[in-house]
Structure 1
Amino acid sequence: MRIAVVGAGAVGGTMAALLDRAGHDVEVTARGEQLDAVRAGGLVLDGGWGSHTAPVTASPRLTERPDLALVATKAMDAEAAIRENARALDGTTVIVVQNGLRGVDVARAALPAAQTVGMLAMFAASYLSPGHVTVTTPAPSYLGGGTGPVTERVRELGGILREAFPVVELPNFVGAQWTKLLVNHVNAMPAITGLSAQQTIAHPGLRAIVTQSMREAVRVGEARGIRFGSMQGLGDARLRLFARLPRAIGGVLPRLMAARMGATPNPGSTLQSIRRGKPTEIDYLNGAVVSEGELAGVATPVSRELVALVHEVERTGRFLPPDEVVRRVPLG
């Protein structure tokens, strides 16, 4: 099958390499040093799903119409990338692999003739040098669309992709996007401190901040009428309970998430962007909670401050010591 991957970063690059290994004809979009590296030596994958060098076709924009396309850019780049490749993408099946809440809606608006579904990548991968991606925590990706049951088309797509990497089809995809948004709250702290996700969660003060930001996300979701989707042991009832437990007890949840990451240091995608000198997705992660909270009339002071601190690090290039972060983030 001819498969396109728009955005060959940590997630898109991993999927592209695995799809190539499964025997598909893969084209990726890339720019700059990444484009040059992939053209020169292929897309190199190692880590938790084994090693493979994928001789994929790499171009600044798609050169052929694919049978299936995955859009795996950063959330803030998605609309421009989709429109730039609209000639090749419209009329085909497009899977949007994105953090945040708006990716599928953006793709559907830009590609009215495409069949569009969403995917949540729960594995962790690092992309810190051109042409090279490393899977640090293997985990399934979740495929679906809307708030209803799994469709037959989603099941078909899951079967195709499962030949390359673990995929689970799930109902209530919108609710699952909110659950993933909550999981992504481990990203801000590494970006602020320069530490791994495991190190920040091990620090009592930083863990309390992460816990509170996650509790804010649950409360905002509840106010917006969201039924949280089930994935990786998290679901609606458990998350609603988490938001009501004392914060010290609620800190068990980020500890469990850190344990699932394993021993390999996980920098998180936001810190990886900072290390590469690229804009981060923070406005689509903690920032999405702030925006949705404003619509719902729910205060989100911790998420708001975390967004501000990530932007400060982006602007200054200076990571903050944990004690300073604890001092500056209001827990109430």
Structure 2
Amino acid sequence: MRIGVIGAGAIGGTIAALLDRAGHEVAVTARGEHLAAIREHGLQLDGGWGAHTAHPAAAAETLTTAPELAFVCTKAQDAEAAITENAALLQGITVVIVQNGLTGLHDAMRLLPHSHCVGALALYAASFLSPGRVTVTTAANTYLGAGSGDAPRVAVDAARILNSAMPAFAIPNFTGAQWTKLIVNQINAMPAITGLSVQETLSDPALRRIVTASMQEATRIGLARGVHYGSIQGLDDRILRFLARAPRWAAQAVPLLMRRRMGATPNPGSTLQSIRRGQLSEIDFLNGAVVAEARAIGRPAPINAMLTALVHEVEVRGAFLPPATVADRLRPLLD
């Protein structure tokens, strides 16, 4: 099958390489040195799902051929431009939006009214720290769907094709699962601020307290928005309702559970990876999304707002903040 992957970074590169290994004809878009490395040496995958070098057709912005199925895996802030650039090639086919945040699928439906758009949540962790190479640090499932009801037929079909290469499943209540993934992604900001791995930040008592507080704040906003959280990555509606109600010392059990599930391989998180590459992160679609959802119902989200601001501070300054400084900056919001 002809499959296009728009944005062959950590997540998209993994999808592209594994679909290539499964025998599909894959084309990708990439940028700069990464694009040059793919063209010269191929797209090299290693880690949790084994090693494979794919040789996809690669271009800077527009896929080289019209795909029969497409995956949009760019950072959230780049999605609209990437979809618009490829819109003519995406008409009438199934387009899978593999992105963080809450708005990607809705935006794709607006931009591609004649395509069949579904969302996907990639729960595996992958690192893209050198051109042409992607490493899977934690193998996990990818879930596809749309809306709060049953998964549409196109999501089931797309999941079946992706499952030929990696674990993928169509699920009901995709909106609820998006919100659960948003809570999971609360672990991304602290590595981006400090330069530490996710495991290191969750092992530090002061930083873990901040992450726990941000998760509680985000979960409460979702509940106030009427969200029924989906069941992914060891979290579900019952656990997240506990997280929202529990005192902070008890609620820390949730991020500690997440740390254990990650294993020992250091996970930098996608936001830190962007900063290390000198790129703007998608923090406005992670912690910033919580702030926006809170604003929509007239509520504050000061912890998520501060974490968003600190990530932007690191982006501007080009230097990470010491954990003690981060703890001092957040302390007034935690007491």
Per the normalisation by structure 2, the TM-score is: 0.98
Aligned residue for 1:213? 214
Extract unaligned runs of 5+ from structure 1: none
3-state secondary structure, aligned to 2:135:
strand
Q: Following the alignment from structure 2 to structure 1, what is the Cα–Cα distance between the partners of residues 248 and 169?
A: 31
> Matched residue of 2:65: which SS?
coil
Q: Which amino acid aligns with 2:49?
A: W
Q: Output the aligned Cα RMSD.
A: 0.8
Distance 2:113 2:177 in 1: 24
How far did 1:306 drift?
0.3
Query: Is 1:82 the counterpart of 2:76 in the alignment?
Result: no
Residues 305-324 of structure 1 aligned to structure 2 (within 5 Å): 305-324=306-325
- Aligned ranges for residues 166-245 of structure 1 at < 5 Å? 166-245=167-246
Counterpart of 1:13, as a letter, is: G
Task: Give the equivalent residue in structure 2 for 1:58.
Answer: 58
- 2:118–2:154: 8 Å Cα contact kept in structure 1? no
Q: Which residue of 1 aligns with 2:265?
A: 264
Q: Deviations over 1:221-276 (max 9, x none)?
A: 11111111111221112211111001011001111111111101000000000000
Q: Aligned equivalents of 1:168 and 1:239: distance in 2?
A: 22
CA distance in 2, matches of 1:324, 1:222: 31
AA partner of residue 74 (structure 1) = K
Could you tell me how far 1:71 is from its partner in structure 2? 0.2
**8 A Cα contact 1:63 1:88, kept in partner:** no
Contact 2:10 2:128 in 1 (8 A): yes
What is the DSSP-based 3-state SS (H/G/I as helix, E as strand, rest coil) of the residue aligned with 1:69?
strand
Flag structure 2 segments of 5+ consecutive residues without an equivalent: none
The 3-state SS of whatever aligns with 1:104 is helix
> Within 1, Cα distance between the matches of 2:91 and 2:211?
40
Q: Percent identity?
A: 60
Counterparts of 1:118-129 in structure 2, within 5 Å, are 118-129=119-130
| TM-fit CA distance, 1:155 | 1.9
**Runs of at least 4 residues off by over 4 Å:** none
Q: Which residue of 2 aligns with 1:331?
A: 334
Distance 2:181 2:130 in 1: 26
Partner Cα separation in structure 1 for residue 299 and residue 224 of structure 2: 8
- Name the CA distance, whole Å, in 2 between partners of 1:331 and 1:24: 50
SS at match of 1:62: coil
Query: Comparing 232-241 with 109-118, which one deviates more in the overlay?
Result: 232-241
Judge conservation of contact 1:27–1:57 (CA < 8 Å) in 2.
Answer: yes
Tell me how far apart the structure 2 counterparts of residues 8 and 63 of structure 1 sit (CA, whole Å). 14
Provide Cα deviations, 1:113-158, integer angstroms capped at 9, x if missing partner: 1000000000000001111000000000111111101233322221
SS of aligned partner of 1:136: strand
Kept in 1: contact 2:58–2:64 (CA 8 A): no
Q: Structure 1 CA distance, aligned partners of 2:155 and 2:93?
A: 14
SS where residue 3 of structure 2 aligns? Answer: strand
Q: Which residue of 1 aligns with 2:16?
A: 16
